[in-house]
Amino acid sequence: MTLAGHNGNLLGLNQEELENLAESLGQPRYRGRQLYHGIYARWIRNFDELTDLNRDFRSALEPHKEIIYPQAERHFCSRDGAVRYLFRLQDSSSVETVYMPDEDRTTLCLSSQVGCAVDCKFCFTAMLGAKRNLTAGEIIGQVLGVAAGQNMVRGARLNLVFMGMGEPMLNLPQVLKAVSILADPKGVGITLRHIAVSTVGILPRIEELALAPMRPKLAISLNASSDEQRSALMPINKKYPLADLMRVCRAYPLRSWEHLMFEYVMLDGCNDSDDDARRVADLLGDLRSRVNLIPYNSGPELPYRAPEFERVLAFQKILTDRRIPTFIRISRGQDIHAACGQLSLSIG
Ligand code: SF4
């Protein structure tokens, strides 16, 4: 197989585009729907396996079109069962995807960009800088590529989280196109309840997401309790300060089953005090929210450390006493640099 990004690659085309393709090759539009079903619901990669397509259509496709997954160049297995995949794309850039199996459901942490422009001070990906946006095909390819690598069966219970490399809101059209295929019952078939997009808070894009017909769940990467603190950790806060972020969160149209998720990376001595917890509680107030506390995953390149676990528990208690459901998330795959904020294409 050649690499993703090839302009004859059908991966990433939606149903309408495949119907148009069928028509352009002199076939009825329903042949495009069969192709869509084969690629996304049956995970087929060779036209030969699409035996429900007529031979004329297959022969017309074969010279110019392919179904190409990103190439899993390397993968690293953690003691805790997580696997970090390094996918190489056609232009030789790379992205990472993390597979995290659990008893009930497997989570895949997806990348939306090569590198990232946002420059959060605690994040290893930020050190790569901005490279480019991924295409919808490259995003879906991470899901199907990991599924193939792990010999997963169709219908496997999956959670997808856009918390890998990149800021998904800065690539919203391609992220939403990918989600529309991933969540389509006739496509990959992972329900929207099991797909989440995490953002630092690019407010115009959150407002755009609110209007999307197929909308994943929204997670906000909060990580601070005041503007001063947040601007130091996340310079984007100078453009979109906390008061504006909270105003947009309050206006966000939650579905009956949905909470706004707030991610809070805990940094020792930086954002983890009781006062921080009280200020976070004040910020979130009566929002229908959940908080995930993520003790920092340290590394030699950055000056931050995780707090003692007692500190994390004390922080959690202040929030839960204010009736804000708050969970402690210990990142998976720390020994393979796959944990939250650690994705940086390191190969050791
Ligand atoms: S935390 Fe996310 S948005 Fe911030 S620099 Fe890292 S990848 Fe980009």
Could you state, in chain order, the average pLDDT of each consecutive group of 10 residues for the chain (348 residues)? 59 97 94 96 91 87 90 92 93 93 93 93 86 96 96 91 96 98 97 97 98 96 97 97 97 96 96 98 95 87 91 98 95 73 63
Long-range own/partner contacts, residues 126-132 (CB < 8 A, 24 or more apart): 127/301, 127/344, 128/165, 128/344, 128/345, 131/93, 132/91, 132/93
Q: Whose CA is nearest to atom 6 of ligand 1?
A: 123
Q: Which of 19, 73, 96, 308 is catalytic?
A: 96
125 Cα to the center of ligand 1, angstroms = 6
Residue closest via CA to ligand 1's atom 3 equals 167
Give the Cα-Cα-Cα angle 106, 186, 64 (nearest 5 degrees). 100
Burial of 3 (0-12, 13-18, 19+ CB in 10 A): middle
Which ranges constitute the DSSP H helices of the chain?
15-24, 29-36, 55-61, 136-149, 172-182, 203-210, 227-233, 236-239, 242-251, 274-284, 309-321
Atom of ligand 1 nearest to the CA of 163: 2
**pLDDT given for residue 126 in this prediction:** 83
Interval between CA 209 and ligand 1 midpoint (Å): 19
Distance 224 CA to ligand 1 centre (A): 15
- Centre of ligand 1 from the C-alpha of residue 110, in Å: 13
123 tagged catalytic:
no
Distance of CA 35 to the CA centre of its chain: 26
Residue to probe by mutation, ligand 1, list 127, 200, 302, most atoms within 8 Å of CB:
200
Q: How far apart are CA 144 and CA 153, in angstroms?
A: 11
Q: Are the C-beta atoms of 67 and 10 separated by less than 8 Å?
A: yes
Residue with tokens 């969540």: 183
User: Structure pTM?
Assistant: 0.94
Structural domains of the chain ordered from first start: 1-68 (1.10.150.530), 71-336 (3.20.20.70)
Q: What is the pLDDT, as a whole number, of residue 62?
A: 86
| DSSP letter, residue 9 | B
What are the CA-CA distances from residue 212 to residues 170, 173, 283, 299 (Å)?
15, 10, 26, 38
pLDDT of residue 179: 98
Structure tokens belonging to residue 175:
């992220």
Give pLDDT, residue 5: 43
Name the residue of 95, 98, 124, 167 whose CB sits within 8 Å of the most ligand 1 atoms, as the mutation to test its pocket.
Answer: 167
- What are residue 237's phi and psi, to 5 degrees? -65, -25
Return phi, psi of residue 66, to 5°: -145, 165
State yes or no: is 308 an active-site residue: no
* Amino acid residing at 116: C
Around ligand 1, the residues with Cβ closer than 6 Å are 116, 118-120, 123, 125-126, 165-167, 200, 341
The residue among 348, 332, 335 whose CA lies nearest residue 164 is: 332
